[in-house]
Structures are given as C-alpha cells and as structure tokens.
Amino acid sequence: MAEPDLKDIAKRMDGALNVLKTEFAGLRTGRASTSLLEPITVEAYGSQMPLNQVGTVGVPEPRLLTVQVWDRGMVKAVEKAIREAGLGLNPQPDGNLIRVPIPELNEERRRELQKVAGRYAEQARVAVRNVRRDGMDMLKRLEKDGEISQDEHKVYADEIQKLTDEHIKKIDDALGQKEKEIMQV
C-alpha cells in the first residue's frame, strides 16, 4: 500500500520559508549587515561574479559596511556594482577598501520596505499553498488508483492542511518580526 510522503511535503514547505528568510536578510533595516550586499554581482574578468568572490565584506560599525577588494583593478567595478544595485547606498573607495555608509531610513522608505517584505511573505504563502495543492492532488490520485481508502485520504488531507497552517503561521510571524525591525528607529 502506498502512502503520501508527508516528509517531502514538509521539506518543500520549509524550503519556501528558507527562501523568505534569505529575501528578508537582503532588506535594509538601517543597520549594517553583510547579507545586504549578498545579491550584488560584479562584472569581473569577463563574467558576472558574486561580490563575495571578489572581496571580503565586513561590518566594523553598526552603520558602516566595508568591502576589502582583493584585486586593486576591481575596485571601480565593485564600487559601480554597489552604486547601481538599487539599495540607495553610496560607496566610497579608499585604496583597496570600499566604505559603504548605511544612511538613516526615512519614514517613506520604511513604509516602502514594509510593502516589499509583505510581497515576499505573500510569495512564500503562495509557494506553501502550491505544495499543499500538489499533496492534495497526489492524495486524489492515490485514492482513485485504489491505493488508499477514503478514510485514509481524509486523515492525510488533514495532516497536509495542518502542515500548511503551521508554515503559514511561521511566515506571518517572520513578516511581523521583519516589519517591527524595519519600523524600529
């Protein structure tokens, strides 16, 4: 007798939650964090490379990031990549070191970031619901093929719904936490 793989469903829902946390890490909250520069890619040696592969990102102060560029010839490219990343940052080169002061967030920018965080959370909720739908479709298929009974279908459907509710709650909690962080002055 075949059983639906609830562990796989839970793992896929956890994946959606992990993606959300990664996206939240890239949102600027007014405090310096190395994860702020993670999504930036630099035109280096004829291809696009992640910033952390051309230099070391550090946080010497709460409102300052530094990028120690390994190749002196790459300093201009790294500075340009940070400036054009759309994060509202203004890098200042100093030899092989690039200082990136983190400006204070104004109220309007905080509201904007809150909306972005909300969009990220909604994408994660949709991903979790899609996993639930796949699980429910699998249950229907198993019941139709006679591999599980109607009663088992109901039990598994309740389990999948319980997993979905737990993950949606985790997403909502993460969003609440991030919004509080963004609005903190």
In angstroms, the Cα distances linking 10 to 17, 113, 174 are 11, 29, 18
In this prediction, what percent of the chain has a pLDDT beyond 90?
41
User: Residues 13, 66: one domain?
Assistant: no
Whether residues 94 and 40 fall in one domain:
yes
Tokens coding 104: 């204070």
Indicate whether 127 and 159 sit together in one domain: yes
Question: HEC states along 110-179?
Answer: HHHHHHHHHHHHHHHHHHHHHHHHHHHHHHHHHHHCCCCCHHHHHHHHHHHHHHHHHHHHHHHHHHHHHH
Count up the domains in the chain and report the number.
Answer: 2
The per-residue pLDDT for 28 is: 65
State the pTM of this model: 0.68
Is 1 inside a domain boundary? no
Any idea which residue has 């429910």 for tokens? Answer: 136
pLDDT tens, 130-178?
Answer: 999 999 999 999 999 989 999 999 999 999 999 999 999 999 999 999 8
Q: Spell out the residues 6+ positions from residue 94 whose beta carbon is closer than 8 angstroms to its own.
A: none
Longest dimension (CA), the chain: 71
Alpha carbon distance 164, 13 (integer Å): 8
| pLDDT tens-digit readout, 19-40 | 898 888 777 666 777 777 877 8
pLDDT digits (tens, 9 = 90+) for 43-57: 888 888 888 889 999
Instruction: Among 52, 80, 101, identify where a domain stops.
Output: 101
pLDDT category of residue 1 using cuts at 50, 70 and 90: very low
Structural domain boundaries, residue 59: 34-101
Asked if the structure places residue 174 within a domain, the reply is: yes
Of 105, 110, 87, 115, residue with least CA distance to 175: 115
